[in-house]
Amino acid sequence: MKQYKVKPEAKVNLSKRNANDTGDFKDGKKEGLAELEKLNGKLETLQELLFAEHKHKVLIVLQAMDTGGKDGTIRRVFDGVNPAGVRVAGFKAPTPEELDHDFLWRIHKEVPGKGEMVIFNRSQYEDVLVVRVHNLAPPEVWSKRFDQINEFERMLAENGTTILKFYLHIDLDEQKKRLQARLDDPTKHWKFRLGDLDERKLWGEYMQAYEDVLSKTSTDYAPWYIVPANRKWYRDMVISSVLVDTLEGLKMEYPKSEENLDEVVIE
């Protein structure tokens, strides 16, 4: 999955990234789903080990355009993990209290503790994406936030947090299909908002903003992955593979028992 990892300071051009890519899976979805099932089993075991060892912290950031698949990714990739050790934090428009603080204040409160895996459904990056595209703050304000975010993530990493950031890359045609599917299915009408069409008109502005995010904030300690996400099964497989490889690299171990259990007899 290294091909999807953004190197530090690399210049990103999303128009040259194939959102339909399915890597080496020539047999397509069936083969990919079989691999995903294997990865799900490994992730379940590794997450339990993370929780038991109570040493490492894991932060997963998901960013995408509307219909990009953040919710679906969470449901599918983390199917079967222990909810006691996994938490999802979502960030919508800031409240008046949050606006009274620096933009990272509400983010810092949600970062993982030891043994915990936290998934950010949107994140601190909204403050250099939505804020920028909708002119909610002047450039001299939001442009400083790239360095501030990098330093914030550096601090988390230096204090034992493993950070993985995924941009779920769909193209404009795929977004149209997914919006239309919501419109055609009455059970999905609750997902459809007319405001999504207004955001769609700003696609070009968002792509430019995302390119800056990916170019300026992918670091060795908090890398971005540009995940081809038109094919949901491949999206999930890529993210699961990166997670499993990263967690295996932590070399975690179950804690030793406090007592000698060899002679314990349960009557």
Query: Per residue in 112-137, pLDDT tens?
Result: 999 999 999 999 999 999 999 999 99
pLDDT given for residue 266 in this prediction: 85
* Whether the predicted pLDDT of 28 surpasses 90: no
Question: Is the pLDDT score of 26 beyond 80?
Answer: no
What's this model's pTM, rounded to 2 decimal places?
A: 0.95
Q: Are 127 and 101 in contact (CB under 8 A)?
A: no
The arrangement of secondary structure in 2-24+56-171+205-248, i.e. its CATH architecture, is: 3-Layer(aba) Sandwich (3.40)
Residue 27 confidence (pLDDT) above 90? no
Closest CA to 49 of 89, 82, 87, 88: 82
Radius of gyration of the chain (CA): 20
Specify burial of residue 80 (Cβ count, 10 A radius: 0-12, 13-18, 19+): exposed
Q: Domain extents for the chain? A: 2-24+56-171+205-248
Cα 191 to the center of its chain, rounded Å: 20
Residue 254 · residue 55 · CB < 8 Å: no
User: Lowest-confidence range among 81-95, 118-132, 158-172, 237-251?
Assistant: 81-95
pLDDT, position 232: 96
CB 1 within 8 A of CB 241: yes
pLDDT tens digits for 142-168? 999 999 999 999 999 999 999 999 999
* Distance (Å) of CA 16 to CA 12, 19, 64, 224: 9, 9, 17, 17
